[in-house]
Amino acid sequence: MPVVFVDGVDGAGKTTLIQHLARTLPTQPVHIADPLWNYLPAVTNAADFGPWVTSTPAEEVAAALIDACIHRLDHIRRHPGSAEPGNVVLVDRGPRTVAASARAHIATGHSANAAYDPRPAVKQLTAALMQTAEATACMTAELRVTNYDAILYRLSHRERTDVRYLHYLRTFLHHFETDPPWLGVQRIELDATANITVNVRIIRKALRLSAH
Q: Please name which of 114, 101, 96 lies closest in space to residue 168, comparing C-alpha atoms.
A: 101
d(CA 148, CA 44) in angstroms, rounded, equals: 30
The rounded radius of gyration (Å) of the Cα atoms in the chain is 17
Q: What are phi and psi for residue 24, nearest 5 degrees? A: -120, 20
Q: Please name which of 141, 150, 131 lies closest in space to residue 189, comparing C-alpha atoms.
A: 141
Q: What is the pLDDT of residue 206?
A: 92
Go through the domains of the chain in sequence order and give each one's CATH number. Answer: 3-127+146-210 (3.40.50.300)
d(CA 170, CA 209) in angstroms, rounded, equals: 35
Q: What are phi and psi for residue 6, nearest 5 degrees? A: -100, 110
Question: How remote is the C-alpha of 181 from its chain's centroid?
Answer: 14
Q: What is the pLDDT of residue 83?
A: 53
d(CA 151, CA 164) in angstroms, rounded, equals: 17
Averaged pLDDT of the chain:
91
Which pLDDT band, with edges at 50, 70 and 90, does 116 fall under?
confident
Q: Which run of H or E residues covers position 170? A: helix 163-178
pLDDT digits (tens, 9 = 90+) for 189-208: 999 999 999 999 999 999 88
Q: What is the pLDDT of residue 188?
A: 96
Which pLDDT band, with edges at 50, 70 and 90, does 212 fall under?
low
Q: Which amino acid is at 182?
A: W
Cβ-contact 5, 95 below 8 angstroms: yes
Q: What are phi and psi for residue 118, nearest 5 degrees? A: -80, -5
Q: What are phi and psi for residue 147, nearest 5 degrees? A: -140, 125
The torsion of the CA quartet 190, 191, 196, 199, rounded to 10 degrees, works out to -20
pLDDT digits (tens, 9 = 90+) for 144-195: 998 999 999 999 999 999 999 999 999 999 999 999 888 889 999 999 999 9
d(CA 116, CA 13) in angstroms, rounded, equals: 30
Partners of 3 in beta bridges: 89, 138
Q: What is the pLDDT of residue 27?
A: 65
